[in-house]
A and B are shown apart, each in its own frame.
Chain A
Amino acid sequence: SQQGEEDPQALSIQEGENATMNCSYKTSINNLQWYRQNSGRGLVHLILIRSNEREKHSGRLRVTLDTSKKSSSLLITASRAADTASYFCATVPISGAGSYQLTFGKGTKLSVIP
């Protein structure tokens, strides 16, 4: 079952513009992560934000987390054609069982036009 729901489903922007993707989830989490997937290939981990953090930066990426609204956003600044990919948010539950399986959303397909 899906935990996260990304919005929008698809996003098309010009190179150099910023891209913002949103994710909502349903249950309490240990952390939330964002992954990138180039067409039909493996997932690449981008950034992890813990439930007690509100904002995190990594290069051109900025992630925010609002646990009261159960939502997160991923901002990619100064986008490049190479950023064209699908982006997924994934949540890790609060678990005492030592399992940290990821629950993924359906993803946002980002197209960056040169």
Chain B
Amino acid sequence: DSGVTQTPKHLITATGQRVTLRCSPRSGDLSVYWYQQSLDQGLQFLIQYYNGEERAKGNILERFSAQQFPDLHSELNLSSLELGDSALYFCASSVAPSGDYNEQFFGPGTRLTVL
């Protein structure tokens, strides 16, 4: 158990819909990363937040957005869903991005199926 929790575990929805994925980082971790894992694209970095502020963006679609709240949990919002958005979405956390690198701890993921 990494200490990172993600809800829900599974999500089945229809094209055009909007969903919210939730992540609670490990206690004390200030940085949250979101990754998407799909069969054709592999594991891709989406976005990073540090202490409530966006720190870096990767291959995140404009239909997707995220935020990190004062209690440090994070939400990833996916809208106007398409079949190709079906994937495993992982959240990871680390203590801080500054200074020496810190290991990232991954949550169990949310499996999104768009029908």
Decide whether A and B are members of one complex. Answer: yes
Chain A: residues with Cβ within 8 Å of the partner, total of 28
Chain B: residues with Cβ within 8 Å of the partner, total of 29
Chief secondary structure at chain B's binding surface: strand
CA–CA, A49 and B109, complex, Å = 25
Contact string, B50-81, partner A, CB cutoff 8 A, digits 1/0? 10000110110000000000000000000000
Q: Is A114 an interface residue (CB 8 A)?
A: no
Q: Is the CB of A99 within 8 A of B97?
A: yes
CA–CA, A92 and B94, complex, Å = 14
Number of A-B contacts (CB under 8 A): 69
Q: Smallest CB–CB gap between B24 and chain A, Å? A: 14
Given known A41-B109, A44-B106, A45-B103, contact A101–B42 (CB-CB < 8 A): no
Q: Smallest CB–CB gap between B38 and chain A, Å? A: 12
Given known A43-B90, A43-B106, A44-B106, contact A100–B101 (CB-CB < 8 A): yes
Q: Smallest CB–CB gap between B8 and chain A, Å? A: 15
Q: Is A1 an interface residue (CB 8 A)?
A: yes
Name the A residues within 8 Å of B101 (CB-CB). 30-31, 48, 50, 92, 100
Q: Is B22 an interface residue (CB 8 A)?
A: no
Name the B residues within 8 Å of A106 (CB-CB). 42
Q: Is B107 an interface residue (CB 8 A)?
A: yes
Contact for B45 among A40, A44, A101, CB less than 8 A? A101
Name the A residues within 8 Å of B59 (CB-CB). 1
Q: Smallest CB–CB gap between B47 and chain A, Å? A: 9
For the complex of A and B, list the 9 residue pairs with the smallest distance between their C-beta atoms, beginning with the closest. Answer: A99-B56, A104-B43, A101-B45, A43-B106, A42-B108, A98-B97, A42-B106, A106-B42, A98-B98
Question: Can you give 9 A-B contacts (C-beta < 8 A)?
Answer: A41-B108, A42-B106, A43-B90, A50-B101, A90-B43, A92-B101, A100-B97, A101-B56, A102-B33
Q: Give residues in B with beta carbon < 8 Å to A.
A: 2, 33, 35, 42-45, 48, 50, 55-56, 58-59, 88, 90, 92, 94, 97-98, 101-109, 111
